Amino acid sequence: MRRRWRAAVALSLVTLLGVAPLAACGPSPAATVSDRYRTYYEVFVGSFADSDGDGVGDLAGVTGKLSYIHDDLGANGIWLTPINTSPSYHKYDVSDFEAIDPEFGTMQDFDALVAKAHAKDVRVLMDLVIQHTSSKHPWFTQAIQALQAGTTNKYVHYYDFSTTPKAGYVQYGSTGIYYSAVFSPSMPDLNLDDPGVRSEIAGIVGFWLGKGVDGFRLDATTSYYPHDAAAGVAFMRWLESTCRAVNPQAYLVGEAWTDATSLTSLYASGVDSFFNYPFATVSGKLNAALTARDGTGLSQATQAWNETIHAANPAAIDAPFISNHDNPRPSGYLMRSPQLEKLSAATYLLMPGNPFIYYGEEIGMVGSGTDPNKRMPMVWSTTDLTGTTKPPPGGTYDESAVVPVDQQLKDPGSVLSFYRAVLALRNRTPALARGTYTSITAGDRSVLAFSDAYQGTTVYVLENLDSAPHVEQLDAMGLPASVKVRDHLLTDGAQAPSLSGRALTLPPGSVAVLR
């Protein structure tokens, strides 16, 4: 039944489209506005929460932690890293696109997760890995069998094979068969030009959207057509249309680990968002601004970036982040300083768009070097290990210095409590995510200042990136005479920002929100 339904969906689609600091026990910081703008929480499923005691995180574990993700933290969307059947721990080499890997549970577990998430108005994104398959996928094994027998079948056309060595191709065993594999010999590249492959992809997205998934994170988009950027954009335009035909509100966010110019060009595909790599990680503009205490430069860069992506796609939604499962965790390069972690969080979580938080970032987890060390078990507690997973294969990072969730929830000065406060502010101030961002030049370059205009309301934000207090003259910055300090955030428990006449005093590391 599943295969027949999927094939019918695929055929119809191909025919249609063509080839303020929040107290730990205070109110929930969850959002009150339900639309396409969300704060997403990336869950590396195998390392997040274990429901059955086998040491591997699973879907039922994620379901059990939705109250933490939504009610405690304030996120209103989740991105699940791959959950399809796969021979690897990370699941980025799929062997069945329409099944749940048994390590993570059952389809019933998935349905329960989606149902509970939607009951909380939490959107669910799946990782869509369609640049390649596992070498264990039946499509690939049947193609190899045909080639070895000197015959052919439709699956031979699903991949790029050769009888001679080529750059980017690997040999299948000791045979004379070679195939394209950008990432690994265990990940043969799909031929995305093949109508059969496109029909399969249409069926896959239709299947999961039909199951209630709200959208997809598109893995490795720059590798769809690594030597033809225009073809990659055209393919994503087809994929976007294919998803919209099933669910017009489906949300797509692409991974494109590339430079700003190349990333901007991808927005012409119509894909809603691309992860904002130019601003992210240790080498991005956000960390550079924190290091140099250059608030003016950062606000100007943020305005320019948003204007650029909206020129390419007027409906674009930026996707800021500072860490994910492929990059070093920020606590390490922020010297494990709670104040710097809070300042970094405030900086990117107050940007427009849909920010993405990597699990454990909000409690200061660490990890760098090999990939497994960036994907270590979520630290829920040091006394009650229920739900704690084993490290992934090869994971050796020591997380013993990390203060666990249960302790940080009780500490109003913790990094986690600060994340809660930022998200509560973001969720009760719709203009922050949705507004038109305009850079404001403050009197001191270390003050990040900007406005967000949305539906007739303008919000003004000033963030002091410095370790010294600063006094800013609102008249000199062009702020209206009627504005008052309506909200604030503190990174070190210092005195709150204060307005005396038209002079705003910003303590070190503080954020003031004026309306």
pLDDT band at 498 (very low <50, low <70, confident <90, very high): very high
Instruction: Decide if pLDDT at 266 tops 60.
Output: yes
Q: What pLDDT is stored for residue 34 in this prediction?
A: 77
Q: Which two tokens stand for residue 405?
A: 């969730």
- Give the phi and the psi of residue 252 in degrees, each rounded to 5: -120, 135
C-beta neighbour count of 379 within 10 angstroms:
21
What is the set of active-site residues? 219, 255
Fold of 436-514: Immunoglobulin-like (2.60.40)
Average pLDDT over residues 103-122: 99
Residue with tokens 């210095």: 401
pLDDT digits (tens, 9 = 90+) for 180-206: 999 999 999 999 999 999 999 999 999
CB 343 within 8 A of CB 376: no
The 8-class DSSP code of residue 190 comes to B
Mean pLDDT throughout 458-470?
A: 98
Find the radius of gyration of the CA atoms of the chain: 24
Average pLDDT over residues 227-241: 98
pLDDT in tens, 325-346: 999 999 999 999 999 999 999 9
Which residue carries 């035909």 as its tokens?
245
Is the pTM here over 0.75, yes or no?
Answer: yes
Mean of the per-residue pLDDT values of the chain? 94
- Tokens 């309301």 belong to residue: 457
Write the pLDDT tens digit of every residue in 308-326: 999 999 999 999 999 999 9
Q: Using an 8 Å Cβ cutoff, are 484 and 458 in contact?
A: no
Angle value at C-alpha 422, between 421 and 424, nearest 5 degrees: 65
SS3 for 451? Answer: strand
Identity of residue 11: L
User: Does position 285 have pLDDT exceeding 50, yes or no?
Assistant: yes
CA 480, 485, 486, 490: dihedral to nearest 10 degrees?
Answer: 140
Domain ranges of the chain: 2-37+72-131+192-355+408-431, 138-180, 436-514
Look at residues 334, 320, 322 and name the one whose alpha carbon lies nearest to residue 281.
322
Share of the chain above pLDDT 70, in %: 94
Mean pLDDT in residue range 460-469: 98
Q: What average pLDDT does this structure show over 282-292?
A: 97
> What's the rounded Cα separation, in Å, for the pair 8 and 246?
13
pLDDT at 5: 41
Task: Tell me the pLDDT band of 32, cut-offs 50, 70 and 90.
Answer: low
Query: Residues in the chain, how many?
Result: 515
CA angle 383, 384, 386 (to 5 degrees): 150
pLDDT at residue number 30 = 59
- The pLDDT value recorded for residue 33 is 72
The contacts of residue 108 (CB under 8 Å, 6+ apart) are: none
Task: Give 434-446 pLDDT, tens digit per residue.
Answer: 999 999 999 999 9
Cα gap 253→42, rounded to integer Å:
12
Both structure tokens of 261:
């110019």
In the predicted structure, residue 484 carries a pLDDT above the cut 70: yes
Instruction: Name beta bridge partners: 293.
Output: none
- Please tell me the predicted confidence (pLDDT) of residue 26: 46
Q: Which whole number is the average pLDDT over 64-71? A: 99
CATH number of 2-37+72-131+192-355+408-431: 3.20.20.80
Structure tokens at 139: 């499509």
**What is the H or E stretch that residue 487 is in?**
strand 485-490
Residue-wise pLDDT tens digits, 127-157: 999 999 999 999 999 999 999 999 999 999 9
d(CA 222, CA 235) in angstroms, rounded, equals 11
Cα–Cα separations (whole angstroms), residue 297 to 285, 331, 430, 445, 476: 9, 23, 25, 8, 18
Pairing assessment for the beta strands 77-80 and 40-43 based on DSSP bridges: parallel
- Between the alpha carbon of residue 89 and those of residues 58, 64, 113, 391, 510, the distances in Å are 12, 21, 21, 11, 41
The pLDDT of residue 29: 66
Q: How far apart are CA 361 and CA 406, in angstroms?
A: 15
Bridge partners of 218, per DSSP, are 128, 254
pLDDT digit string, tens, across residues 370-397 = 999 999 999 999 999 999 999 999 999 9
Q: What is the CA angle 366-371-374, rounded to 5?
A: 20
Compute the distance between CA of residue 36 and CA of residue 119 in angstroms, rounded to an integer. 16
pLDDT at residue 23, rounded to an integer: 36
> What's the angle, vertex CA 294, arms to CA 290 and CA 296, rounded to 5?
130
Going through 152-272 in order, the beta strands assigned E by DSSP cover 161-162, 169-171, 178-180, 215-218, 251-254
Is 81 in contact with 45 (CB distance < 8 Å)? yes
Residue 24 has pLDDT above 60, yes or no: no
CA atoms within 13 A on the CB side of 331: 19
372/32 Cα distance (integer angstroms): 36
Say which amino acid occupies 488: H
Beta-ladder partners of 472 = 504
Q: Over 90: is that where the pLDDT of 63 sits?
A: yes
Average pLDDT over residues 259-278: 97
Here the tokens at position 224 are 């769809």
Instruction: Report residue 209's pLDDT band, with 50, 70 and 90 as the boundaries.
Output: very high
pLDDT at 42: 99
